[in-house]
Amino acid sequence: MISSLKKTPLILLVVLLSLSTFQPVSTAAQSFESSTTIPTETGTSIGIGEPKLSSSNNFFSFFSLNDNKNVTYSEDVTEDSITQTIYLEPSMAGKTIEIPFVLNNGEKINLAKDENNNSNGASNILDESENSIGIITTESASDDVTISAEVRNDNVLELYIDSDEIAEPTQLIVTMSATYYSTYFSSFSWITRSGVMSLSLTHKPYLTGAKNEYDALVRLSDAWQKVLAVHSSSTNWYNTTGMKDQFTCHFNHAASKNPWNLEPSRPNVGYTKTVLAGCNP
C-alpha cells in the first residue's frame, strides 16, 4: 500500500507534463512565418514553412517531451517558385509529413484529385475569390514511394508516405509556384481561319510538361483560369463552355500542336464529341 502511494505523484507528474504539451488543433487556417516568400499576380506573398513528421505518426509521442519530428530537407528559391527537397529514410515509410504553407490573405490549398478521389498532394492555390494564383506539385524520386495527401485548415499539406517500405534513402520534391499568364503562353492573337474567328494561343513547354497526372490537373486548371482572366472580356469571346472543352481537348490530345486555336463559333457539343471531332467540332 505504501509503495503504491509513493508511485502516485510520479504518475500524476508524467500525465500533467504530457498534457501541458498538448495544444488543441484550430479549425481555422493557421498563420505561419517563412524566411522566404514569393509574390503572386494579386500582389500578395506566399511561402512554405518547415516540414515535420506528424505527431500522429506515433501514439507515444503524446507522452514524449523530446519527440523529434524534424525532417531533413533543402530549399531552392527562384523568382516565382520555392522547391523543398525532402530526404526520406526507410524508417519514414507509412508516416505523414506535414508542410505548412504561408497563406495569410485568405488563400487556400485545393487538392487535385483523380476519378477515384486520390491525390498525391498536387494542388491549386486559390485566392479569396476562388481564382488560382499558383500551384503546388509533388514528385517522388523513387518508383517505390507513392504519396497520398490531405489538407488541414486550408494551408497545411499532409503527405502520407503510402509505402510498405522504402528500400533506400530517397527524395520527395515539393514545389510551390506563383503563376501568371506568361507562365503558360508566349503569345496570343485573335485571327480568322476560313472565315471563323479564332483565339490562337502559343503555349510554352511548361504547360504540357507535367511529370504526373495530378501535376497535369493543376496546370490545366490554372492555365484555363489565366485564359479566362485575360480573354473573356474580349468582344470576340463567347461560348465559354465550348471554348473550355476545346482547350482541354488540346491539352489532353494535341499537346504537341502549337499554336492551339479555340473558336467560339464552334458548337457546344460536350467534351467527348469535341475530342472525337479533333478538338474543333
Closest to 136 (Cα-Cα) out of 201, 250, 224, 212: 212
Q: What is the distance between the alpha carbons of residues 198 and 246, in angstroms, rounded to a whole number?
A: 11
- Rounded Cα distance between 35 and 18, Å, is 31
Find out whether the peptide bond into 259 is cis, omega within 30 degrees of 0. yes
pLDDT, tens digit, 9 for 90 and up, residues 88-145: 999 999 999 999 999 989 999 999 999 999 999 999 999 999 999 999 999 999 988 9
Amino acid at 270: G
pLDDT at 256 over 80: yes
pTM over 0.75: yes
Residue labelled with grid coordinates 479564332: 198
The pLDDT > 90 percentage for the chain reads: 78
Q: What are the pLDDT digits (tens) for 54-104? A: 977 544 444 444 444 789 999 999 999 999 999 999 999 999 999 999 998
Instruction: Tell me: pLDDT of 9 over 60.
Output: no
